[in-house]
Chain A
Amino acid sequence: MTGRRTLILVLLALFVVAGMFLWKNPVSVARKSAGTTGLDAPEFALKTLDGSRLTLSEYRGKVILLDFWATWCSPCQEEIPRFVEWQGKYGNQGFQVIGISMDDNPKPVQGFVQDFRMRYPVAMGTQEMASQFGGILGLPVNLVIGRDGKIKAKHLGMYDLNQLEQEIKTQLDSQ
């Protein structure tokens, strides 16, 4: 009987501690609910900067890093050279970076793409497309999409690039 009472007290204490943790850290809970991880990545059709058509489905079967960025976003400026490097490093393993510019004005985007030697498809994002991906409520936003077309990870804000590379490698290794 005493053992049972102790167990109940321990469970109760754990419940209270967990409640206090969630109360103090509401963001971690909210972030999960706001994500789109595990869902099929929504199809989109956009125009690249050179005017050609860009769809997500044409890259089906590849591991995709979908990067929402902007020319004024300095964390994006830190990330993009790494993405260019990864495109070269993992491209022949079925990896593809796609850049979606969230600039209000397309004018500076072309110059930025040239200066940063972004040798992967870049298109101007739209409100509709951003909403399809759960909303772009700050930059950068990176999504890792698996070969099966499902969203494996969504990162809002600055994220550890070594960790992101690891996530991509994991997807490249999985069939």
Chain B
Amino acid sequence: MTCRSVLRPAMVCMYWCVAALCLSQAGFSQWKADPSQSATSLGQSSLIQPAELAKSLEAAKDKPLVLNVGPRMLYVQAHIPGAEYIGPGSDAEGLKQLHARVNSLPHSKLIVLYCGCCPWSHCPNVAPAFTELQKMGFTNVKVLYIAENLGTDWVYKGYPTDRGSK
């Protein structure tokens, strides 16, 4: 048995193993969120904390326009009173809806975006929606900082909550 006769099958085997590994990773990678669209890319100055938003919603006038840019299923389960459902900021249709909703508003209007689908560092929705509003020229846009999810950081903290869809 020559050295070559042993090495050749081993090389072929290794090739197929590497190919199989690459294919399996390719399958997973299509589901991975784009890290550049993570909520962590938003600066501190563009954030609003839950307590601050809850207080501003109590005010008689100059209430912000609150827009939910997350999944509908979660919005129906619980949402901030008065918040309008737009659609996920991570998909083109959601951004189109966002564009249509705010198009006629003055660019100085205070708009608060929120999602709360999952931990802040994993949220794929708020950053693209924020960028879209910035591109449109809105100068007073805030994103609600939700560290874990809407349940933990809003509902279970006792802030006002509505259910159902609009």
Whether chains A and B associate is yes
A: residues with CB less than 8 A from B are 26-27, 30-31, 33-34, 70-75, 77, 102-104, 112, 115-116, 125, 127, 130-131, 135-140, 156-158
Contact of A72 among B28, B124, B150, B158 (CB under 8 A): B124
CA distance A135 to B32 in the complex (A): 26
CA distance A135 to B75 in the complex (A): 11
- Contact across chains for A137 and B155 when beta carbons are under 8 A apart: yes
- Contact across chains for A102 and B74 when beta carbons are under 8 A apart: yes
Question: What chain A residues lie within 8 Å of B16 (beta carbons)?
Answer: none
CA distance A138 to B31 in the complex (A): 19
113-130 of chain B: CB within 8 A of chain A: 116-119, 122, 124
- Contact across chains for B90 and A31 when beta carbons are under 8 A apart: no
Question: What chain A residues lie within 8 Å of B30 (beta carbons)?
Answer: 115
Question: What chain A residues lie within 8 Å of B153 (beta carbons)?
Answer: 27
Nearest 7 Cβ contacts at the A-B interface: A138-B149, A137-B151, A30-B156, A115-B27, A74-B122, A157-B148, A104-B72
Question: What chain B residues lie within 8 Å of A77 (beta carbons)?
Answer: 28, 31-32
Question: What chain B residues lie within 8 Å of A127 (beta carbons)?
Answer: 73, 76-77
Name the residue of chain B whose CB is nearest to the CB of A137. Answer: B151
What's the tally of chain B residues with a CB closer than 8 Å to chain A? 31
Known: A73-B117, A102-B73. A31 touches B152 (CB 8 A): yes
- Contact across chains for B148 and A138 when beta carbons are under 8 A apart: yes
CA distance A130 to B163 in the complex (A): 12
Count of A-B contacts with CB under 8 A?
103
Known: A26-B158, A72-B124, A73-B118. A156 touches B28 (CB 8 A): no
Known: A34-B156, A72-B117. A137 touches B31 (CB 8 A): no
Residue with the greatest number of chain A CB neighbours at <10 A, chosen from B77, B90, B116, B155:
B77
Name the residue of chain A whose CB is nearest to the CB of B28. Answer: A115
Question: What chain B residues lie within 8 Å of A125 (beta carbons)?
Answer: 73
142-166 of chain B: CB within 8 A of chain A: 148-153, 155-158
- Contact across chains for B122 and A138 when beta carbons are under 8 A apart: no
Contact of A138 among B27, B74, B76, B124 (CB under 8 A): B74
CA distance A89 to B155 in the complex (A): 37
Contact of A135 among B33, B78, B157 (CB under 8 A): B78
CA distance A166 to B30 in the complex (A): 31
Known: A72-B88, A156-B151, A156-B152. A137 touches B33 (CB 8 A): no
